[in-house]
Amino acid sequence: MITIPIEAITAIHNTPHQLVFEFAGAGSLALYWLHSVPGSSRTVLEATDRYAAASLADLIGGMPEKFVSADTARAMAESAYRRAMRLTDGAAPCLGVACTATIATDRAKRGSHRCSTAVYDGATLRIFDLTLAKGARDRAGEEQMISLLIIRAIADACGVTAPDLVLEPSETLEMREETHPDPLTLLLRGDADCVFVGTDGRVSLEGTPPVALLSGSFNPLHAGHEQLAQAAAALLGAPVAFELPVLNADKPPLGYAELERRLDQFRRRYPVVLSRAPLFVQKAQLFPGCTFVIGYDTAIRIIDPRYYDGEAGRDAAFASIAAQGCSFLVAGRVKDGVFRTLADIDMPSSLRSLFRELPERLFRVDLSSTAIRDAYREIASPRSQ
């Protein structure tokens, strides 16, 4: 019988670390232990039992090849870490804690009884693979062993000590560490220039360079954005990727929580490129040869000399964009009751060759993010009730 590791959990609660815990198959006792020792509100942000296969798949972006494996635990811990960062907006050291296990049940199992536990702190991933001796313990005993391993893994990440596991001779515990910096953290603090996010939510510093980009704040992502990307792709004969810059020339930088909120709109639907490039001259350096899909209002803004400290700076910026082989595809929009297009923009002749019009017959959506946000606020306002 394993007793509650009170000293270790007290020490965990006395550190500044906060965690999100995702578990499947076993681990509920570890959560109970964490809550049974005073101070858990300082440590536990959220915990979810991913017992249904669909629930686990929803967390990690698809059905895993093996439900109980180091790879699955890794994906769970990474998702848990991003959730913790979202809940705290990075105000505290965060941990993503995960456990996926298969243990004794009311029927015989052909495979081994085992678990993979992972803890991720945004820089280091610690993985613990435990194989238990079948028949040495009942289900409650196996749950206790796995929960003690989880507490040990959390304690290790917090820099405190925890009781050792007492294993049977045939049981094994393998531990390893991987250096694995969180791409979103690197991007937000300026240690990475761009990050690629797949439709499954996986974030990577490496990805396929985009042929065409639709850049925006996507607050919110709406049908106009989607139809614009589709129309531009049809005209260009190439896919159009969405690009979300975390820095903006006219708005405050995005924090971790807000960035995660906006990324939620794309998951299961579209890949996204994240960058620290608020200006198109910077985007051109990151994505040479790219076609930037923009709207009428954006076209007016990007030729405005005030963003470049004067006309000379603007012309130098566009010369740099041209040198990178980049260009612009401009979609029209309704302005003051009239559908305005590239032809309506008073543009220096030296810049014209970099701009191409997306015909109205291919795209016209009289919708804007600002109008949608205004409508949301109107609905939410007490005066509208």
Kindly state the average pLDDT of the residues 20-43.
Answer: 98
Torsion sign (Cα): 236, 237, 242, 247: negative
Give the pLDDT confidence of 301-322 residue by residue, as tens digits.
Answer: 999 999 889 999 999 999 999 9
Question: Residue 269: exposed, middle, or buried by beta-carbon count in 10 A (0-12, 13-18, 19+)?
Answer: exposed
pLDDT of residue 90: 92
For 180-320, list the strands marked E by DSSP: 194-197, 203-204, 212-215, 240-245, 272-275, 291-295
Residue 172, token pair as written in the block: 């094994």
With bands split at pLDDT 50, 70 and 90, how would you rate the model's confidence at 20?
very high
Please, which pLDDT band fits residue 200 given cuts at 50, 70 and 90? confident
How does residue 379 score in pLDDT terms, banded at 50, 70 and 90? low
Q: What is the mean pLDDT of residues 242-266?
A: 93
Q: Which residue has the higher pLDDT, 373 or 256?
A: 256
| Residue 108 confidence (pLDDT) above 90 | no
327's tokens: 């260009």
CA–CA distance, 355 with 346 (Å, rounded to integer): 12
Give the closest residue to 175 by CA, choosing from 116, 102, 124. 116
Letter for the amino acid at 86? R
Predicted structure pTM score: 0.87
| Long-range contact set of residues 136-145: C-beta below 8 Å, sequence gap at least 24 | 136/168, 136/171, 137/104, 138/104, 139/103, 139/104, 139/105, 142/26, 142/103, 142/104, 142/113, 143/26, 143/27, 143/28, 143/29, 143/103, 144/1, 144/2, 144/29, 145/2
Q: What is the pLDDT of residue 201?
A: 86
The Cα-based distances of 170 to 23, 100, 175 in angstroms read 25, 21, 17
Unique residue bearing structure tokens 């220039």: 193
Q: Over range 251-271, report the average pLDDT.
A: 94
Count of Cβ atoms closer than 10 Å to residue 345 Cβ: 16
pLDDT at 196 over 70: yes
| Bond prior to 16 in cis (omega within 30° of 0) | no
Beta-strand runs (E) in 28-183? 44-49, 94-102, 113-120, 124-132, 172-179
Of the pLDDT bands very low, low, confident and very high (cuts 50, 70, 90), residue 110 is: confident
Q: Which two tokens stand for residue 111?
A: 């495979």
Identify the band that residue 225 occupies on the pLDDT scale cut at 50, 70 and 90. very high
11 alpha carbon, distance to own chain's centre: 30
pLDDT at 209 over 60: yes
The beta strand positions in the chain, using DSSP E, are: 18-24, 44-49, 94-102, 113-120, 124-132, 172-179, 194-197, 203-204, 212-215, 240-245, 272-275, 291-295, 327-331, 333-335, 338-340, 355-358
Flag whether pLDDT at 190 surpasses 90. Answer: yes
**Distance (Å, rounded) from C-alpha 291 to C-alpha 240?**
9
| β-strand partners of 194 | 275
State the CB neighbour count (10 A cutoff) for residue 307. 18
Mean pLDDT score across all residues of the chain? 94
Cβ–Cβ < 8 Å for 20, 87: yes
Q: Check: CB of residue 207 under 8 Å from CB of residue 273.
A: yes
Residue 214: its pLDDT value, please? 98
Instruction: Please list the helix, strand and coil fractions of the chain in percent, rounded to the nearest 5, in that order.
Output: 40, 25, 40
Question: Token pair of 241, please?
Answer: 């990727």
Grade residue 100 by pLDDT with cuts at 50, 70 and 90.
very high
Confidence of residue 211 (pLDDT cuts 50, 70, 90): very high
Question: Could you tell me what percent of the chain has a pLDDT over 90?
Answer: 87
How many CB atoms sit inside 10 A of residue 178's CB?
12
Other Cβ atoms within 10 Å of 252 Cβ, number: 8
Ordered structural domains, the chain, with CATH: 6-180 (3.90.950.20), 184-380 (3.40.50.620)
Whether the predicted pLDDT of 383 surpasses 60: no
Is it the case that residue 373 has pLDDT exceeding 80?
Answer: no
The number of residues in the chain equals 385
* Among 175, 73, 171, CA closest to 131: 171
